[in-house]
Amino acid sequence: MEIELSWPVATDERLRAEVHEVLHAVVAAGGAIGWTSPPGRAQTDAWLDGVLASPSDGALVVARVDGVLRGTASWKRSDSEVFAHMAEVRRVTSHPAARGLGLGARLLGAVVEHARAAGLEMLTLGVRGNNHGAIQLYESLGFREWGRLPNVIAVGDVRFDDVRMYLPLGHRPGVVLHGSAPGGPGSSPARASAGRRQAGRVATPARTAGRTGPLQQQLRGSGTRA
């Protein structure tokens, strides 16, 4: 059995048909790659065109098993100026007929190295919370969870967590890591919390001393703190 990875730079009818076959089969088998039902050809073509629209902003790697396309993975650069040094990993897939061959690890590893060579500083990805096998794969290659949005992925009436992960790729010389330290563009001084400001308006014991109206008597009798 021969497994070969390649990086298409343009689309043609053969590639469109092959990619559609894989993505359609993965979703039909229950795969969580962004569609709740098997996508049509127009949907997969649009996705493929978007990935390959600009070679500097995205890339696709495909895996062929004995000449047949059986897996995909891609990265797509952020379109925000302040995040243009980052990219998101998308649609790491393996055709159901090629499960158990380790295509996911090969494809993801290739994406990581390709993104690093392209000068990117960080990769991010999102994965459904119940996709424990995928999370384990990502962790094995160094991805770490930075947060999750609980119950936001909708599949019909069922909600799943959106787990967000990242992988640092390194910084070019001269980059200053300012982090969350004060100062710099966009900085603002810390202010008193809303809770503290509100606390200043609450009546103090000295101001309420001697007041034993019906409400105060009721609160004291119930044990509730005013």
List strands edge to edge, sheet with 3-6: 3-6, 58-65, 68-77, 86-94, 122-128, 158-168, 144-155
Would you place residue 220 in the very low, low, confident or very high pLDDT band (cuts 50, 70, 90)? very low
- One-letter amino acid at 211 equals R
Is the confidence at residue 65, as pLDDT, over 60?
Answer: yes
Domains identified in the chain, total number: 1
Report the predicted TM-score, pTM, of the whole model to 2 decimal places: 0.81
Is 188 among the domain residues?
A: no
Helix (H) or strand (E) holding 178: none
Is 24 among the domain residues?
A: yes
Residue closest to 77 by CA, chosen among 119, 44, 108, 47: 119
**Domain of 36: which CATH number?**
3.40.630.30
Is 90 among the domain residues?
A: yes
Is 27 among the domain residues?
A: yes
Is 197 among the domain residues?
A: no
Range of the domain at 64: 3-168
Q: pLDDT exceeding 90 applies to what percent of the chain?
A: 81
Residue 194: what pLDDT? 58
